[in-house]
Amino acid sequence: MKNLETTLYKPLIGQSIKDLEIFSISLGEPSFRGRQLFDWVYRKRVYDFGLMTDLPKSFIDVIKNVPIHPLKILNSKKSSSKSTKKYLFITQSGKMVESVLMVEKNRTTICLSTQVGCAVDCDFCATAKMGFIQNLSVGEIIDQFIQLEKISETKITNVVFMGMGEPFLNYKNSITAAKLLNHSKGINFGAWRITISTVGIITKIKQFTNEKQPFKLAVSLNGTNHQQRLKIMPITKKQTFSDLLNVIRYYTEQTRKRVTIEYVLLAGINDHPIDAKKLKEILSPIKCKLNLIPYNEINGSYKRPITNNINSFVKYFNNASFPVTVRWSKGQDIDAGCGQLATEAV
């Protein structure tokens, strides 16, 4: 069997069954050792080689220095309501990324990051102020779930790819991570409990549709026309408002699934009754659910609408043909709300 002392191997978390089979064969072991490793790491959630009882000691002695986790938790913050916790992770290369664990009644949701920073540059978002640093690997995405699941006091019921970064600008790694979460021989987390959120990368929404990905799709619209959206989301210059609506319709028609439309309410920007009327008209022909999100302030020029204005906006949707919810983000006091995640890049 080969010696690993002088060789650097990537962490086990993030590797597929095939990857781990190849890894085992490269060490002179049969391929089924890789399947055993996959079972221990993903299905049984065991992260101590000494507890992997069906692996021979000779194999464990060789791989004992191979890292299992690609991330390390540096610290955490708990909101005053205690319903939300924010966790700061560091990668092996020294970059930092945040994840959020939210508890509401019988739902426990993990919000996963897919990038360090973000290249989309939405004007109202704290993560955008970091700029784009790098994509997270498959392992770095899924390890957020694995580590937070282990310390969560309640069972994880939902996963949202809605943390730092734009998942569809790290499409391959984001989808691969979602598939690992869903793998029937591993974590076996239901695809219907996994939502991937995008600001509207049109080619990737189409790819997601054509590939018949089983995961839920959410799209941040945040405006009712091209110019309005362009002011707050510069990506609209290339990903036009009309093209985005067309690809959203394409997704719902091809998959027959409901898309979640996210609409951040910004005072004086997109919260006027005229905007509510227009948004209702736009969405009525589309199989969708609307999430209205009162803005989470980040000490910038944008403000959350006053409560009366939020309530007036919501009233326009009382008889809408699609479900509407108001998502009051949790953990604003620890900057864990939607659009508030940011770290200092190392």
What burial class does residue 242 get, using C-beta atoms within 10 Å of its C-beta: 0-12 exposed, 13-18 middle, 19+ buried?
Answer: exposed
287 and 162 housed in the same domain: yes
Domain containing residue 306: CATH number: 3.20.20.70
280 and 157 housed in the same domain: yes
As given in the structure block, the two tokens for residue 342 are 């940011």
Residue pair 284/322 in contact (Cβ under 8 Å)? The answer is yes
d(C-alpha 206, C-alpha 220), whole Å: 16
99 and 25 housed in the same domain: no
Would you state the pLDDT for residue 126? 73
d(C-alpha 111, C-alpha 100), whole Å: 5
17 and 85 housed in the same domain: no
| 341 lies in some domain | no
Residue reference for tokens 């199989």: 287
- The pLDDT-based confidence of 84 (bands split at 50, 70, 90) is confident
Q: Which of 22, 47, 68 is the last residue of a domain?
A: 68
37 and 93 housed in the same domain: no
207 and 321 housed in the same domain: yes
Q: Which of 68, 87, 120 is the last residue of a domain?
A: 68
Phi, psi (rounded to 5 degrees) for 125: -105, 135
- The set of catalytic residues is 98, 338
Give the torsion sign (CA, 235, 340, 131, 202): negative
75 and 214 housed in the same domain: yes
125 and 240 housed in the same domain: yes
| 344 lies in some domain | no
Average pLDDT over residues 101-125: 88
What is the overall mean pLDDT for the chain?
A: 89
122 and 155 housed in the same domain: yes
Task: Please write the tens of the pLDDT for every residue from 157-182.
Answer: 999 999 889 999 999 999 999 999 99
Q: Is 30 helix (H, G, I), strand (E, B) or coil?
A: coil
Q: Which of 68, 90, 80 minimizes the C-alpha distance to 344?
A: 90
80 and 219 housed in the same domain: yes
Q: Which of 16, 49, 68 is the last residue of a domain?
A: 68
d(C-alpha 281, C-alpha 39), whole Å: 49
pLDDT of residue 340 exceeding 70, the answer is: no
Residue pair 120/232 in contact (Cβ under 8 Å)? The answer is no
Task: Please write the tens of the pLDDT for every residue from 203-230.
Answer: 999 999 999 999 999 999 999 999 999 9
Q: Domain range holding 238?
A: 71-334
Domains identified in the chain, total number = 2
Q: Which of 322, 339, 321 minimizes the C-alpha distance to 330?
A: 339
Kindly report the number of other CB atoms within 10 A of residue 107's CB atom: 12
Give the torsion sign (CA, 243, 247, 249, 250): positive
